[in-house]
Amino acid sequence: MINLFEKFKGFIIDLDGVIYLDKKIIPHSKKFIKYLIKAEKKYIFLTNDSTLSPDEYSKILSEQGIPCNLDQIMTPITNLLEMIKNKKIQNKDIMVFSSTKLKNYLKSLDINIIEDNNKFKKIKTIIVSGNLEFNYDDLMYASLCVQNGAKLLATSTDNTYPRKIGNVPATGSIIAAIQKTHPVSAINLGKPSKSIFNLAKKKLNIKRQDILTVGDNLNTDILGSNLSKLKSCLVLTGKTNLATAKKSKIKSDYILNNLKI
C-alpha cells in the first residue's frame, strides 16, 4: 500500500495531539516514526510548549519508543536562541515572565536575564510565557517594561490549552492583558510564526516542496505551515475534529483520522 508520507522527504511534526495525548503516547504514532526511520526520512518535532527543555523532551520521547535526538526537538526557545544568534534580539537587559523552571533553563543557556523588577526602565526585551506562577506583579512589571520601550516576545499566542477541567489560560491570554495596558505588538516565538517554520526547514535542510507538516491544530500547525508555503497534513487525534476542520478558513493539504501506516 502506498501512503501519503512516501511523497515527502522531511517532516515537521507537532507533539501534543499527534504523538501523545494527555501525556500518553498515541499507539499509531510509534509505528509512524518507525516507518520514517526505516524509509530514511528526516523529521523534527516542533512544539509550542516551552515547559520542558529540548533535553527533557528528547529523553522522555526516546524512553517511550519514539527515537529523537536533541537536534530533532524545537520549542519557541529554539527560535529565541536563533534570534539572539542572528542579532535580531540583543542578549542584554532581558526580563523573563515565565515559570521558575523555564527562567532557570534560560539562565543555563547564558541568556542575560535581569531579575530585579525595579530595573524595568532599562529593559530592552521581555519574554512572556504563560505559567501557573503568573501573578499581578508579573502583569504590572511586564506592562511597565513595554511602557518604557521594551520589545514584547511571546513563547506562543495560544489563548488556551486543553485540560480535563476545560480550556485553561495560556500565553496569548496574558499577552492580551499586557496589550490592554499599552499599545504594543507581540513577536511570537512559536507557531504559527514564519520564523519558527523557516528555522525548522533550515534544520531539516530539505527543499520546501519535499517537507510535510503534521499537526492537530489549525491555528498553529496548519496556518504556520501555509504561511511558510509548506505542505501540511491535519490529523484528527487531538484538538480538531472533522466538522471544525471543514468549517475553518484555514485549510490543510491533507486530513487524516490518525497516523496509521
Residues at the site binding a copy of itself, with contacts judged by CB under 8 A: 120, 131-137, 139-140, 143-144, 147-148, 159-160, 165-169, 172-174, 176-182
CB of 226 to a copy of itself, least distance (A): 23
Looking at the Cβ atoms of 47 and 143, the one nearer to a copy of itself is: 143
CB of 181 to a copy of itself, least distance (A): 5
Cα-Cα-Cα-Cα dihedral sign, residues 239, 244, 246, 249 = negative
Looking at the Cβ atoms of 128 and 259, the one nearer to a copy of itself is: 128
**CA–CA distance, 155 with 79 (Å, rounded to integer):** 9
Cell numbers describing residue 260: 496509521
CB of 163 to a copy of itself, least distance (A): 9
Looking at the Cβ atoms of 72 and 171, the one nearer to a copy of itself is: 171
DSSP assignment of 47-116: -S-TTS-HHHHHHHHHHTT----GGGEE-HHHHHHHHHHTTSS-SSSEEEES-HHHHHHHHHTT--B---
Looking at the Cβ atoms of 150 and 212, the one nearer to a copy of itself is: 150
CB of 94 to a copy of itself, least distance (A): 19
Eight-state DSSP code of residue 185: P
Looking at the Cβ atoms of 74 and 127, the one nearer to a copy of itself is: 127
CB of 189 to a copy of itself, least distance (A): 18
Cα-Cα-Cα-Cα dihedral sign, residues 126, 129, 130, 134 = negative
Looking at the Cβ atoms of 174 and 187, the one nearer to a copy of itself is: 174
CB of 148 to a copy of itself, least distance (A): 7
Question: What region does 150 belong to: left with phi over 0, alpha with psi -120 to 50, or beta?
Answer: beta
Cα-Cα-Cα-Cα dihedral sign, residues 73, 75, 81, 82 = positive
Name residue, grid cell 515547559.
Answer: 51
Name residue, grid cell 506592562.
Answer: 143
